[in-house]
Amino acid sequence: MTHPIGLIDRDHSILAFNERVLDWACRDQVPLLERLRYLCIVSSNLDEFFEVRAEPHLSAYQQENSVGVYTSQTFERLAVATHGMVERQYALYNDVLMPALAKNGIRIVAHGDRKPAQRRWVKQYFEREVRPLLVPVGLDPSHPFPQVANKSLNFIVRLGGKDAFGRANDIAIVKVPRVLPRMIRMSVKVSDGAECFVSLSSVIRAHLSELFPGREVGEFSHFRVTRHSDLAVDEDDVKNLRTALRQGLEQRHFGQAVRLEVSAGCSEYLSAFLLKQFGLPELALYRVAGPVNLVRLTQLIDLVRRPELCFPDYKACYPTQLTPGVSFFEQLKQGDVLIHQPFETFEGVLDFLHEAVHDPQVLAIKQTIYRTGSDSRLMDLLREAVRRGKEVMVVVELKARFDEEANINWAEMLESIGAQVLYGVVGLKTHAKMMLVTRREGRHLVRYGHLSTGNYNPRTARLYTDVSHLTANPALTADMERIFVHLASHSRLPKLNQVLLAPFFLHKKLVGKIEDMTVASAKGISCRIVAKMNALTDEALIYALIKAGAAGVKIDLIVRGACMLPAQVPGVTDNIRVRSVIGRFLEHSRVFYFRQGADEQLLLSSADWMNRNMMRRVELAWPITDPVQRQRLVDECLVAYLHDEGDAWDLQTGGAYLRSQAAGPKLGQGAQAALMARYGQQSSGRGR
């Protein structure tokens, strides 16, 4: 089939998203330490981009993918764009943020700027805390280039003279221990009234010569290598997925190298030596004018306690539809409850589970676990439920990227105390978020459920926008029960009442809805689609949307990150607008609205519109049928973002994003700020 338009390259779209995040670090009106935090977030995002997406060798690009054939030119364009972003990061760090911090009495003192008393303090710190942990390795035939872990900090040194055995081996490597803090607060006695810090790399750099007595330290540089870190386990070929993943985690830190970062002043000799060692092309080399790992500067933010340089504290209100002190089960019998996080607190969900755990009439609790973090009150509650004799079944997704170890540990803990732990379906990630409580009420067993667009992670629930849905709807909770049985038994899935489940029905149903609206619009019926998600990269859905727009359907897409659909192309996608909203919180909720004539439908979902979500994951989408609840979601999750005048970016015809024109020269209020103001006012009056 010939399509009328080419799609936007996914990797470039991911980089464009990070440019929008970087813009927050550039804004004068953003508190200074928050600007530094956004700079760190971009660096963290780029780390993951390289760990998961990047491949430095041309052979990987000489193949056809979803947007055509990759060539050396394609790879070079991506590398040039990435290098440009990194250069802008460090220019902002050196020319704007560091001087601004210094004006506010916060200084990272380089070796050349240290006064004699400060140098003595650093020397004492080096001798006491650092030197005992350093083991310089001189390279020779019996000491080959050491294994360098993913994203670890190291020094490479070129030495003059000869070693103790009369040999002229000139290269040495110094691994920097990860157990040491990267940012160190200097003593008040040597700080001259300011808050002074030194970086660990500068402490070691200042004393490199002392690590090589009798040798002359010439050229040197710190360096950091990023490795491919997406675990690949052939589930059909392993007997125990948990054991295989734990073994894979041990090797993750030593995957194929994909990026090399060195100091800006690193000599050509040393950089060429490192590139050869890691088997990398020149375009994979990043010379940086500052710390090779900006992510670690979050330690500085944590060390500096200056509230005036951070966002004002926001205290989420207790969910407005819930009455504290009244049983959840009684409240849910009166109707469903929606919680709009983080404007309303995730504590409502934890309190629901807490009541279920401590209610003697509750017999069973079933839950999916994707990301919970390493320290989780929720997991403690599940452990207590087992102790109290309840049937606890947990579907733990072991392959949740970069959370594998935490999830394996939770799975082993729950199994050890008698919970039934499942690992989902072979070949699929269980990304659905749901919890089902079964309670005895008289002669009947009654189910209560929780569905969510986000993870069961109390920490990220304060930082991500998501929607939680508590329900006693028999049709919806019966679907949840059937899905849990399906995940446990792998039996054929019976017909569901309301839930759309991937990989079985969700993709087909979404494409079908869009196609139905295309037909209806061609007949003159007014049709509208508004969809909010994190990413839009599935080709079938993209082309269905393009066809619907061409037929007259008015389409607004609120896509935080990667979007491959080219909007506003004359004669092709005139009716499609794409917005991205980047704010204080990470936009994470998935809300899909369809209107055909007077008929409205709104779905909440765990799934983005990506092929992997639709075809290689267990995902849910479910309807909100109550008109009042549905209108609330339309107003707060869709309309508010379509009218955002502070944090929105609009995708242009050529594929670039521009700050919303509605903002004009003076920024208006963003959707998140409006929701914070609305719920913050309610918070002050609820006493919680």
Task: Collect all residues with Cβ–Cβ distance below 8 Å to 265 and sequence separation of at least 6.
Answer: 221
**pLDDT one-digit tens code per residue, 200-219:** 999 999 999 999 988 888 89
| Same domain, residue pair 659 and 537 | yes
- What's the length of the chain? 688
Residue 85 lies in a domain: yes
Q: How does DSSP assign 278-304, residue by residue?
A: HT--GGGEEEESS-S-GGGGHHHHHH-
- The full DSSP string for 251-277 is HHTTS-EEEEEEETT--HHHHHHHHHH
Q: Cα–Cα distance between 41 and 295 in angstroms, integer?
A: 7
Q: Is the pLDDT of residue 236 over 50?
A: no
**Residue pointed to by tokens 């309309």:** 639
Cα–Cα distance measured from residue 504 to residue 511, given in angstroms and rounded to the nearest whole number: 13
Domain boundary among 447, 478, 498: 498
Average pLDDT over residues 332-357: 96
Share of the chain above pLDDT 90, in %: 69
Span of 226-235, 499-508, 537-546, 601-610 with lowest mean pLDDT: 226-235
Please list, residue by residue across 208-226, b when 16 or more beta carbons sit within 10 angstroms of its beta carbon and e when fewer do. beebbeebebebbbbbbbb
Do 141 and 273 lie in one domain? The reply is: yes
Task: Collect all residues with Cβ–Cβ distance below 8 Å to 439 and sequence separation of at least 6.
Answer: 329, 356, 359, 361, 362, 363, 445, 446, 447, 448
CA neighbor of 110 nearest in space, from 127, 93, 122: 122
Task: Give the residue with greater pLDDT, 234 vs 192.
Answer: 192
- Cα gap 207→228, rounded to integer Å: 32
Q: Does residue 315 fall inside a structural domain? A: no
Domain count, the chain: 3
Residues 487 and 514 in one domain: no
Interatomic CA distance for residues 42 and 37, integer angstroms? 9
Note whether residue 6 is domain-resident. no
Residue 137 domain flag: yes
Q: Which amino acid is at 337?
A: V
Q: In this structure, are strands 434-441 and 429-430 parallel, antiparallel, or unpaired?
A: unpaired
Task: Give residue-wise pLDDT tens across range 514-571.
Answer: 999 999 999 999 999 999 999 999 999 999 999 999 999 999 999 999 999 999 999 9
**Whether 453 and 555 share a structural domain:** no
pLDDT in tens, 36-82: 999 999 999 999 899 887 655 444 444 444 444 445 677 788 889 99
Task: Give the range among 538-547, 626-635, 650-659 with minimum mean pLDDT.
Answer: 650-659
- For the cut 70, the answer to whether the pLDDT of residue 494 exceeds it is yes
For every residue of 584-644, DSSP letters joined together read SSEE--EEEEEEETTEEEEEEES--BSHHHHHSEEEEEEE---HHHHHHHIIIIIIHHHT-
Q: Are strands 527-533 and 554-559 parallel, antiparallel or unpaired?
A: parallel
Residue 341 in contact with residue 585, Cβ under 8 Å?
no
Quote the pTM value. Answer: 0.90
Residues 388 and 292 in one domain: no
Q: Are strands 106-108 and 195-199 parallel, antiparallel or unpaired?
A: parallel
Task: Specify burial of residue 234 (Cβ count, 10 A radius: 0-12, 13-18, 19+).
Answer: exposed
Residues 542 and 438 grouped into a single domain: no
Q: Give the SS3 label for residue 8.
A: coil
Tens digit of each residue's pLDDT (9 = 90 or more) over 132-187: 999 888 887 667 888 888 899 999 999 887 766 666 678 999 999 999 999 999 99
Q: Which of 12, 222, 431, 486 is catalytic?
A: 431
pLDDT of residue 53: 76
In a domain, 1, yes or no: no
Give residue-wise pLDDT tens across range 387-443.
999 999 888 876 545 556 666 776 777 778 778 888 766 677 888 899 999 999 999
Interaxial angle between packed helices 72-92 and 32-52, expressed in degrees from 0 to 180 and rounded to the nearest 10 = 160
Q: Do 612 and 469 lie in a common domain?
A: no
CA distance 543 to 370: 30
Separation of alpha carbons 438 and 90, rounded Å: 54
Question: CA-CA distances (angstroms) from residue 539 to 303, 504, 662?
Answer: 46, 18, 30
Q: Are residues 490 and 506 in the same domain?
A: no
Q: Which residue has the tokens 């490795």?
A: 227
Tell me, what DSSP letter sits at residue 146? P
Q: What is the CATH number of the domain that holds 651?
A: 3.30.870.10
> Going by C-beta distance under 8 Å and a sequence separation of 6 or more, which residues neighbour residue 513?
594, 601
pLDDT, mean of residues 323-345:
96
Same domain, yes or no, for 191 and 335?
Answer: no
Asked if residues 503 and 428 have their Cβ atoms less than 8 Å apart, the reply is yes
Query: Do 531 and 518 fall within a single domain?
Result: yes
Same domain, 464 and 530: no
Mean pLDDT of 344-362: 96
What the block records as the tokens of 641 is 């973002």
Per-residue pLDDT averaged across 479-508, rounded? Answer: 92
**Pairing between β-strand 617-623 and β-strand 500-502 as defined by DSSP bridges:** antiparallel
In a domain, residue 390? The reply is: yes
> Mean pLDDT in the chain?
88
Last residue of a domain, one of 498, 517, 538: 498
Longest dimension (CA), the chain: 89
Pairwise CA distance, residues 333 & 220, whole Å:
69
The answer to whether residues 296 and 416 belong to one domain is no
From residue 260, alpha-carbon distances to 176, 270, 287, 289, 610 in Å are 16, 12, 9, 14, 30
Predicted pLDDT of residue 64: 42
* Residue 228 among the catalytic residues: no
Instruction: Look up the domain containing 428 and give its range.
Output: 328-498
* Residue at 198 is within a domain: yes
Domain at 144, CATH number: 3.30.1840.10
289: in domain: yes
Report which of 289, 285, 294 is spatially closest to residue 263, judged by C-alpha positions.
289
